[in-house]
Copies of this chain bind each other. A is one copy, B any other.
Amino acid sequence: MLVYDTAAERNPKVLKTCRKYLHWTQRSVFQGELSTAQYRALITALRATIDPDYDSIVTYTTRSPDLIDTTTLGVALGGPGDIL
């Protein structure tokens, strides 16, 4: 799972990179299941995109999706098939 808070001018590139590896959940949130190699590639691509003095990206990872319980209140916005 990944959340981003980046400058508007870099958002399109950050979104493009995130969408390559993850699916969109909500506003500034992506999630997905990645191999270690895919995760490393995502992090490398994001590091090359953001301004580390201004932007912020936080990722939350677990060994298995079974370890996380997800609860949605209200509308379920994202999904594997959604296009942002």
Q: Quick one: which of A48-84 are within 8 Å of B by CB? A: 50-63, 67-77
Cβ distance A17 to chain B, nearest Cβ, rounded Å: 11
Complex Cα distance A68/B50, Å? 24
Interface residues on A, range: 35 or more
* A–B Cβ pairs within 8 angstroms, 20 of them: A1-B60, A3-B3, A3-B28, A5-B26, A6-B74, A26-B28, A26-B58, A27-B28, A29-B58, A46-B73, A52-B75, A53-B74, A54-B75, A55-B73, A56-B73, A56-B77, A59-B71, A60-B69, A61-B68, A67-B67
Shortest 6 CB-CB contacts between residues of A and residues of B? A57-B73, A52-B74, A56-B75, A55-B74, A5-B27, A59-B71
